[in-house]
Amino acid sequence: MATFPIRTYGDPVLRQQTFEVEEIDGRIARLAKNMIETMYAAPGTGLAANQVGVQKRVFVYDIGEGPQVVVNPVIKETDGEWTYEEGCLSVPGLSWPIVRPNAVHLVGVDLDGNEISIEADTLEGRVFQHELDHLNGVLVIEHLDDDQRREALKTLRLRTLYLGDPGETL
Ligand code: ZN
């Protein structure tokens, strides 16, 4: 097991598209294992593959019921509305109350290639939407209103000024 460095705001890989996993082989299993390790070390509730620089449609999460892996996830349906204070390992130290649908129906496959179909709400539903956003190159910042976004970008710019390029902080 090993941990990956987590890519942070400003790293272009967070904005790039990710690709469907065509074959679930040992490499994907290893990637998922190391992503889980990375998520726990951070610590975080979820982690998408492109947050560790891998452009594949895989995410891992643990909402307190043990680690889960979803390959090629798709959100089929959403319902309701829920406001939740949402942060992101790629935008460390910041969080905002974000409104999103409450319930989602997620489908995908697990590491054995079995189909997954999960109806989730509250935190689990939120994690699914957040990680799907990552895999589509979308950061939580894009859900902010104009004022919030301006503030957030100011904070992030200042941080880059003091700390150097993201990823080079010790
Ligand atoms: Zn995130």
Q: Which of 85, 131, 151, 168 does the annotation list as catalytic?
A: 131
168 is catalytic: no
* Structural domain for 38, as ranges: 12-163
Around ion ligand 1, which residues have CB less than 5 A away? 88
Please check whether residue 6 lies inside any domain of the structure: no
What predicted TM-score, i.e. pTM, was given to this entire model? 0.92
Rounded Cα distance between 63 and 88, Å, is 15
Work out how many domains the chain is built from and give that number: 1
Tens digits of residue pLDDT in 39-74: 999 999 999 999 999 999 999 999 999 999 999 999
Ligand 1 centroid – CA 133 distance (Å) = 8
Please check whether residue 141 lies inside any domain of the structure: yes
Ligand 1 centroid – CA 64 distance (Å) = 18
Rounded Cα distance between 146 and 37, Å, is 35
Rounded Cα distance between 166 and 90, Å, is 10
Please check whether residue 120 lies inside any domain of the structure: yes
Read off the CATH number of the domain in which 72 is found.
Answer: 3.90.45.10
In the structure, what pLDDT confidence band is assigned to residue 165 with cuts at 50, 70 and 90? low
Ligand 1 centroid – CA 88 distance (Å) = 4
